[in-house]
Amino acid sequence: MSHADLVKLTAVEAVDLLKKRKVSPLEMIDAAAARIAEVDKTVNALPTLCLDRAREQAKRLESQPGDKDYAGYLAGLPIAVKDLNPVKGVLTTYGSPIYKDYVPDHSDHMVEMLDRRGAVTIAKSNTPEFGAGANTFNEVLGTTVNPWDTRKSCAGSSGGAAVALATGQVWLATGSDLGGSLRSPASFCGIVGMRPSPGRVAHGPSLMPFANLSVDGPMARTVADTALFLDAMAGQHPRDPISLAEPATSFSAAVANPGKLSRVAFSADLNGITPVDPEVREIVTKAARLFESLGATVEEACPDLKESQETFQILRASQFAASKAPLLEKHRDLLKPEVIWNIEKGQKLTAEEIGKAERWRGELFYRTAKFFESYDVLVCPTTIVPPYPVEQRYVAEVDGHKFDNYIEWVLVCSAFTLTSCPAISVPCGFTKDGLPVGMQIVGKPRGEAAMLQAAKLFEDAAGLSTRLPIDPIVKA
């Protein structure tokens, strides 16, 4: 197969060919490298390549015995790793001038797991500084733009990963998600991005190994590819105190037999706690009705999330202060304003405020768990706006509502971060200007398998998964 044909394969198709040895990991690396050279100069998704390291790893995989599972889950498939995750021997900047020359002597736990399961890292994907902000730009590696319209933002913080997938540079890419950092870019770029339950994917090493607001997760072009990647990521790690054991049934097997849905809850604005752009509201509302064609009842319903904005803002700020206060003390002049603001906000919090937020989070979880006793999944928009101009640092106003800070506009995602429920963004339509819109599907606590099944049913009904990869659409 030609390089052009290989990059158009789904990850599932590519892994099948790799396991049958009809194509080699080295051929897949060459195909990805050719595609990166062709398109990344336009979008800047993968600014750091490690092709020599990848080829050495591929040669080791190819030297293994010839059984069909010779390289584990992914059989030598090239992937991109977000620049927030250390990869041994590869430049890892965290999008920050503080780390512009940092080459770690270790990989993080997730990367270790993927290495053992046949993934071959070929690049680091771009991210905003320390993943802060839903627009992918930084002072070290520049700005990543949206391939559907290069004048637009790809969101963030896993923007480089989403763009690399949409343009066919890799078949799978890792993302991470605190308040929507994985889901928002998926929506803006027309790909699939999944936030798993805390502990599902091993995380660390970290200054805060027990923290569970931020998680790593899979990004791909299809739901089946996402399930395959989650299978390769998931599992217990001895140095992650909250990591979970692998499920008895693989996520891929669950997606292959999606079954039927009974009751689907839908809310365009989470009971009015967030504004939503009218066009996004219309597209997602129409898409949600597709579940009726699948035999499910779709009802306007949502758990009570009223304290989620304040709760998230407090807990996020507390986490920033705990993890990054030393950087503020030593390198204030090198940090972007949003990061400084978030650290200082956390430092000003009182124990009473943090305790209140923790209590609110507990109440929010119990209300949500009770809600899911009646519904299979909840669907809502992934983002409240379509892709916005790339020069705009963040969304400041929607439908007449002005936001107080750079992260407030992602509440449609961050509210569910607080619940620890898994959530996935799947493409559900396009604006009149041809920009992608994603629908968020939220599952029950630790209900990744059922959520992925619902996503697969919707994906098949919507018929949008064949539109990728695309060549970047350059507009002046």
pLDDT at 45: 98
Residue 61 has a pLDDT of 87
249-256 average pLDDT score: 97
Average pLDDT over the chain, rounded to an integer: 96
End-to-end CA, the chain: 35
Residue 67 has pLDDT above 70, yes or no: no
Q: Residue 70: what pLDDT?
A: 53
242 φ/ψ angles, rounded to the nearest 5 degrees: -115, 5
Query: Which residues are marked as active site?
Result: 82, 157, 181
Q: What is the average per-residue pLDDT within 251-269?
A: 96
Give, in order, the Cα–Cα distances in Å from 100 to each of 189, 333, 367, 437.
Answer: 27, 14, 44, 34
**Architecture, CATH, for domain 3-467:** Alpha-Beta Complex (3.90)
HEC assignment per residue over the chain: CCHHHHHCCCHHHHHHHHHCCCCCHHHHHHHHHHHHHHHHHHHCCCCEECHHHHHHHHHHHHCCCCCCCCCCCCCCEEEEEECCCCCCCCCCCCCCHHHCCCCCCCCCHHHHHHHHCCEEEEEEECCCHHHCCCCCEECCCEECECCCCCCEECCCCCHHHHHHHHCCCCCEEEEEECCCCCHHHHHHHCCEEEECCCCCECCCCCCCCCCCCCEEEEEECCHHHHHHHHHHHECCCCCCCCCCCCCCCCHHHHHHCCCCCCEEEECCCCCCCCCCCHHHHHHHHHHHCHHHHCCCEEEECCCCCCCHHHHHHHHHHHHHHHHHHHHHHHHHHHCCHHHHHHHHHHHHCCHHHHHHHHHHHHHHHHHHHHHCCCCCEEEEECCCCCCCECCCCCCCEECCEECCCCCHHHHHHHHHHCCCCCEEEEEEEECCCCCEEEEEEECCCCCHHHHHHHHHHHHHHHCCHHHCCCCCCCCC
Decide if 416 contacts 215 (C-beta within 8 A): no
Segment 283-305 mean pLDDT: 97
Average pLDDT over residues 329-337: 97
Distance CA 97, CA 473 (A): 30
68-77, 348-357, 425-434: least confidently modelled range: 68-77
- Please check whether residue 163 is in contact with residue 202, taking contact to mean a CB–CB distance below 8 angstroms: no
Domain ranges of the chain: 3-467
- pLDDT reported for residue 68: 46
Q: What's residue 420's pLDDT? A: 97
pLDDT at 31 over 80: yes
Residue type, 163: V
* Cα 297 from Cα 348, distance rounded (Å): 47
pLDDT of 64: 72
For residue range 94-105, list pLDDT tens digits in order.
Answer: 999 999 999 999
Going by C-alpha positions, the residue among 124, 13, 31, 125 that lies closest to residue 75 is 13
- Tell me, what's the pLDDT at 476? 77
Could you report the per-residue pLDDT of 169-203, keeping only the tens digit for each? 999 999 999 999 999 999 999 999 999 999 999 99
Greatest alpha-carbon pair distance for the chain in Å reads 62
- Residue 397 CA to residue 418 CA, distance in Å, equals 23
Is the separation of the CB atoms in 295 and 260 below 8 Å?
A: yes
Residues 6+ away with beta carbon under 8 Å from 207: 322, 323
The tens digit of pLDDT for each residue in 100-130 reads 999 999 999 999 999 999 999 999 999 999 9
User: What pLDDT is stored for residue 206 in this prediction?
Assistant: 93
Per-residue pLDDT band for 154 (boundaries 50, 70, 90) equals: very high
User: What does the pLDDT average to over 265-289?
Assistant: 98
Which pLDDT value is given to residue 72?
78
Question: What are the tens digits of pLDDT across the range 202-239?
Answer: 999 999 999 999 999 999 999 999 999 999 999 999 99
Residue 271: pLDDT band (50, 70, 90) is very high
Contacts of 414 (CB under 8 A, 6+ apart): 178, 179, 180, 308, 309, 312, 316, 407
